[in-house]
Structure 1
Amino acid sequence: MTSSAHHQPILDKPFVLDLFAGPGGLDVAGQALDLPSLGIEWDRSACLTRYAAGLDTLHADVSAVRRDSFESLPPEINVLAGGPPCQTYSVAGHGAGRQALDRVKEYIERLMAGEPDEKIDEDLKTLPDPRTALVLEPLRYAIQATRSPNREHRPYDVIVLEQVREVEALWWHYAKVLEETGLPDGTKYKVVVDVLDTETYGVPQTRSRAVLIARREGLGAPSLPSPTHSSYDAKEWNRRNGNNEHDQTAGQVHQVPLYEDTKPKTDAHQATSTQVRQHWRSMGDALANQGRPTPFLVRSNYGSSSHPGRRGVRSDQQPAFTVTGKISRFVVFQHLNESIVHEGARFSMNEAGLLQTFPPDYPWSGTAQAQQVGNAVPPLFGAHLLSAALGLPQPDPEALQRPWQPATEDQRAKLRSNGCGAADACTDRCPRPKDQVPPPSSVRPRKSRKASAK
């Protein structure tokens, strides 16, 4: 169900708590909507980016904040949002989360029944990969809010979550218990769940996300955001252009016809009740002001269509493949003429950020910047989710394309003092560097194609 009703804000003063905040995708979305937010992020480099961007941040483990310092969170927070880490659920990972879906559903039931945290924490240690349990944290925060004296036991009014599409089954289970069982204090929510394609919201990449939007009973039924752009249909594109974007030969690139009138005709099913959908945005459109020569081709290092080993090729007239932490490995080919291509410069972090709809010149900082970009919620997509959840008008994409105003040195120092405990360094209250290395998984990794060929 998508939104078609007159926009009516449901909260007077929304204040967003962004769990697993990364470099700031949802917070940037919040700023575009004039919403205050506080992010919790454990990765040091992502926090450095957030401080440089001027975003309120706690450099901390989400689970530790819930256990040890929940009462220190601003009591006026009334919107819970976030995208838990996806590595154990994504098809690109080892699959520990996908294999544990039924067990995770059992933990959801136990949490809603009010079982003690200590007992659940002890049992969660038996999961093959501890990151799998992080998908439970939004629910645990929602429950903790009702137990908080600092909040006068007030539940969150709105919950907004997004994850890889493989988590859809868990979001549906979230919806079931939030609507039917309610939190242990009796609070119930109205919930919508679906898998949405980011290119249908103006993001210049194909990226499918399982989303959940919940409103506390009494605040009206939530709706999913109405798409603003048409879907990208790879089969239709290939039919029109004679291109196979799923070439699996590592050293081969099939050239595609460029700059033809390939935009699909708008038809009735592409219209919402209030507007005709725009054409999906291409990489070339998103990077038009970056000085990158066109035409160009991009070969993904990640894969496509839920096949991690499938290497695809797209032109600048198409949306990007899903932007991941391996975006810096995407190979870009420039055309010399109709039949000759050569390898050009790979995407800069600024270009990768633009493909995610971050503002130009966003101050990426620290190390592993490609990973930061790939892990982030696309801000424009996040703005659509927050707008729909809060009854606000559709976001203005132009607000996210303006140059970003970075924090001054004094502002950055103040943000880091609040987030880390010191103006220019991490402190003992920050997660330790060794804790930021992904824990080993007992799930057997997939064999590479080379290994399996032996």
Structure 2
Amino acid sequence: MRAVELFAGAGGLALGASLAGFEPLAVLEWDRWACDTLRENQKRGYPLVSGWPIHEGDVRDYDWKALPTDIELVSGGPPCQPFSMGGKHGAYNDRRDMFPASVDIVRRLRPKAFIFENVKGLTRSAFHNYFEYIRLQLEFPESPIRKSEDWHGHYVRLQAEHSSGKQHGKALTYRLQTNLVNAADYGVPQRRERVFIVGFRYDLETTWSMPEQTHSHSALLHDQWVTGDYWERNKVAKKHRPVSPLSATANQTLTRQLSLIEEPLKPWKTVREALSDMPHPEKRVKHSFINHTHQPGAKAYPGHTGSPLDLPAKTLKAGGHGVPGGENMMVNDDGSYRYFTIRESARLQTFPDGYRFHGAWGEVMRQLGNAVPVELARQVMSSVAIQLVETQLRKHGFKTTADVAKAIAQMNRPAAVLKRA
């Protein structure tokens, strides 16, 4: 299935798309360091990126006429700084706001689906009107802003179109779903809340929904403080185990709650579990892990305390002037602190171990802080891919098992081939 990746960064969302069966016609990123990471992995023959057509530059300057329309997917993570909790909160007035450019590309390429990811801050009450404006632009991409309008005027006009329902199914319109998810709920060893805006073209008549979560905090608490299996499984000595955050009453309540669930969710994955097979970077032990070098200088102070070992990590961030909150640090069993190595941070973002990052530690941490966890991306992308396949099967009348297998094999061919099958 054909795809275009915008604002690719170090490739987290694009890797998830490749794992889900999408083949990019273009992978765009303006940052030289991130592009160097993508190119370096291509030179090293890393399979998932080997065929990516990488374009370093602004998405607004790309020749979109060179690509076909009616492709399967447009995806990307527009720069989050205009909406980030730690940013300047400029939204529409921030020159880094790339949602208008994203809408323009959707209008040009008319994809069957799109996926845009951004920070939780986009859903704040202060951005409510602008967030709804973004959604309406993506719902009605063929109703662009007029020269005589500011964004407020455009917003009002789009609201009227949405209320009337006249455009649906006639012009280029999309069914949208917006989901705020925590990556830890999908098996990522990091508490990372992100917004996904997913749209399917209205004529496809889809019934997509966000994949259900697979992991939970409650299951981790049960594993740690009710059964104690977590500590035994990870061989944590009693002297290194933290004090239980649950009272005896809470333990009993949690046990009763989980016993009512026929198939309990899996426990959240923790920092300790994610890094268990990696040698301590300060010890001079021969190993084969790339980008796994100790970075000295980690210090803790109020408000800058690092990630505990026995929970998912705090959200890795890409601070322009240092990372607030100590999100790039970990707390050792003895209470000391150290920085995550590049490889450890990549593990927390579920990048494959064979994927190399280009640049100095601070630069790479910025790339990783901006990235979408690969595993979360894979699950979302896979659910979209399945929906697109099912839509094609319904469209072309495939019903038997043999027909389904044949249709899936044909999915990367033009629709005309499918019709002849």
Shared topology, TM-score over 0.5? yes
The DSSP-based 3-state class of the residue aligned with 1:290 is coil
1:115-152 Cα distance to aligned partner (Å, 9 max, x none): xxxxxxxxxxxx3x3113x122221111122xxxxxxx
Preserved contact between residue 309 and residue 331 of structure 2 (Cα < 8 Å)? no
1:154-173 Cα distance to aligned partner (Å, 9 max, x none): x1100111101122345544
Alignment of 1:214-229 (within 5 A): 214-219=199-204, 220-229=206-215
1:452 corresponds in structure 2 to: none
Decide whether aligned partners of structure 1 residues 267 and 215 sit closer, same or farther in structure 2, where only a CA change above 3 A counts: farther
1:205-257 Cα distance to aligned partner (Å, 9 max, x none): 111111111111232132112111114799x89xx79xxxxxxxxxxxxx984
Q: Percent identity?
A: 23
2:6 corresponds in structure 1 to: 19
Alignment of 1:32-431 (within 5 A): 32-37=19-24, 38-54=26-42, 55=49, 56=52, 57-65=54-62, 69-73=63-67, 75=69, 77-97=71-91, 104=92, 127=93, 129-132=94-97, 134-145=98-109, 155-168=110-123, 169=128, 170-179=130-139, 181=140, 183-184=142-143, 186-219=171-204, 220-231=206-217, 257-258=241-242, 265=255, 267=257, 276-292=264-280, 310-325=303-318, 330-336=328-334, 341-344=335-338, 346-367=339-360, 368-391=363-386
Give, as a single letter, the amino acid of the residue that structure 1 aligns with 2:182.
Answer: D
The DSSP-based 3-state class of the residue aligned with 2:5 is strand
Give, as a single letter, the amino acid of the residue that structure 2 aligns with 1:73.
Answer: L
Preserved contact between residue 7 and residue 79 of structure 2 (Cα < 8 Å)? yes
Decide whether aligned partners of structure 1 residues 329 and 316 sit closer, same or farther in structure 2, where only a CA change above 3 A counts: closer
Q: CA deviation at 1:27?
A: 1.6
Structure whose alpha-carbon radius of gyration is higher:
2
Higher RCO (CA-CA < 8 Å; seq separation 6+): 1
Preserved contact between residue 45 and residue 366 of structure 1 (Cα < 8 Å)? yes
Preserved contact between residue 77 and residue 117 of structure 2 (Cα < 8 Å)? yes
Q: Find out whether 1:30 has 2:12 as its counterpart.
A: no
Q: CA deviation at 1:330?
A: 3.1
Q: CA deviation at 1:176?
A: 4.0
1:292-338 Cα distance to aligned partner (Å, 9 max, x none): 39xxxxx99999xxxxx9434542111000011256973434334xx
Matched positions, count: 305
TM-score for the superposition, normalised by structure 1: 0.59
Decide whether aligned partners of structure 1 residues 31 and 144 sit closer, same or farther in structure 2, where only a CA change above 3 A counts: closer
Larger helix proportion of the pair: 2
1:445 corresponds in structure 2 to: none
Decide whether aligned partners of structure 1 residues 292 and 203 sit closer, same or farther in structure 2, where only a CA change above 3 A counts: same
Decide whether aligned partners of structure 1 residues 218 and 302 sit closer, same or farther in structure 2, where only a CA change above 3 A counts: farther
Preserved contact between residue 213 and residue 223 of structure 1 (Cα < 8 Å)? no
The DSSP-based 3-state class of the residue aligned with 2:116 is strand
Work out the CA distance in 1 between the residues paired with 2:345 and 2:179: 26
Decide whether aligned partners of structure 1 residues 130 and 279 sit closer, same or farther in structure 2, where only a CA change above 3 A counts: same
Decide whether aligned partners of structure 1 residues 256 and 270 sit closer, same or farther in structure 2, where only a CA change above 3 A counts: farther
Q: CA deviation at 1:289?
A: 1.4
Give, as a single letter, the amino acid of the residue that structure 1 aligns with 2:358.
Answer: S
Work out the CA distance in 1 between the residues paired with 2:112 and 2:56: 25
1:174-216 Cα distance to aligned partner (Å, 9 max, x none): 444555x563481111111121111111111111111111111
Work out the CA distance in 2 between the residues paired with 1:186 and 1:301: 56
TM-score for the superposition, normalised by structure 2: 0.63
Decide whether aligned partners of structure 1 residues 178 and 20 sit closer, same or farther in structure 2, where only a CA change above 3 A counts: closer
Decide whether aligned partners of structure 1 residues 315 and 270 sit closer, same or farther in structure 2, where only a CA change above 3 A counts: farther
1:15-42 Cα distance to aligned partner (Å, 9 max, x none): 2211100010012112222321231001
Preserved contact between residue 21 and residue 385 of structure 2 (Cα < 8 Å)? no
Decide whether aligned partners of structure 1 residues 232 and 71 sit closer, same or farther in structure 2, where only a CA change above 3 A counts: farther
